[in-house]
């Protein structure tokens, strides 16, 4: 198994998107990229911890490549919005790829550059590509939130 960590707005939807990818064996929502140790959801929501809402996942590289996970990541959100996804705004909702090794870093930069070159999005991609840091598991009620609630989205149409 291998590990990948992504932030793309509210972690409920990001987790759900990755849970649909064949080869992803587990997902955990939590907080990473900030300075506060063991932050709570309430603290992260203030924007003062520096953490992003993120999803850490384990995947089987024989079933899904990191490149395919990057494609799912870029399709799951708007990577051109700085610190915002839909109605959610603040640094905790930033777009970020937290790489775990040099190969993931290289593939993340290549994917971002290819999308920018292809002009898939109307604005430049602002996704951060940074080393994975300590990942703090979110409170249990956030884990597999959509499944627990019996819903597929948290936004009102």
35-81 pLDDT per residue, tens: 999 999 999 999 999 999 999 999 999 999 999 999 999 999 999 99
Which one from 2, 7, 10, 138 is the annotated catalytic residue? 10
* Torsions phi, psi for 120 (to 5 deg): -60, -40
pLDDT, greater one: 152 or 120: 120
Q: 59-63, 82-86, 147-151, 152-156 — which one is most confidently predicted on average?
A: 59-63
> Is the CB of residue 123 less than 8 Å from the CB of residue 116?
no
What is the pTM for the complete model shown?
0.93
Q: Is 154 a catalytic residue?
A: no
Percent of the chain with pLDDT over 70: 93
Task: Report all structural domains of the chain as residue ranges with CATH numbers, in order of start.
Answer: 2-149 (3.30.1060.10)
Task: List the one residue out of 3, 9, 19 whose CA is nearest residue 146.
Answer: 19
* C-alpha to C-alpha distance for 109 and 135, rounded to whole angstroms: 22
Average pLDDT of 18-44? 97
Instruction: Centre a 10 Å sphere on the Cβ of residue 19 and count the other Cβ atoms it contains.
Output: 15
**pLDDT of 15 over the 60 cut:** yes
Supply the angle between the helices 66-75 and 102-118 in degrees, to the nearest 10: 50
* Alpha-carbon radius of gyration of the chain: 15
């Amino acid at each position: 198994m291998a590990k990948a960590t992504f932030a793309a707005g509210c972690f409920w939807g990001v987790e759900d998107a990755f849970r649909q990818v064949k080869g992803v064996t587990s997902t955990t929502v939590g907080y990473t990229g900030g300075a506060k140790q063991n932050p709570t959801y309430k603290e992260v929501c203030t924007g003062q911890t520096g953490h992003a809402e993120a999803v850490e996942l384990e995947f089987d590289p024989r079933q899904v490549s990191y490149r395919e996970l990057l494609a799912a990541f870029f399709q799951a959100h708007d990577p051109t919005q700085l610190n915002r996804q839909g109605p959610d705004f603040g640094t905790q909702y930033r777009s970020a790829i937290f790489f775990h090794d040099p190969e993931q870093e290289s593939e993340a930069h290549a994917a971002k550059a290819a999308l920018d070159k292809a002009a898939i999005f109307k604005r430049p991609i602002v996704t951060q590509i940074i080393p994975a840091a300590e990942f703090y598991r979110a409170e249990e009620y956030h884990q597999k939130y959509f499944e627990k609630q019996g819903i597929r989205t948290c936004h009102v149409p």
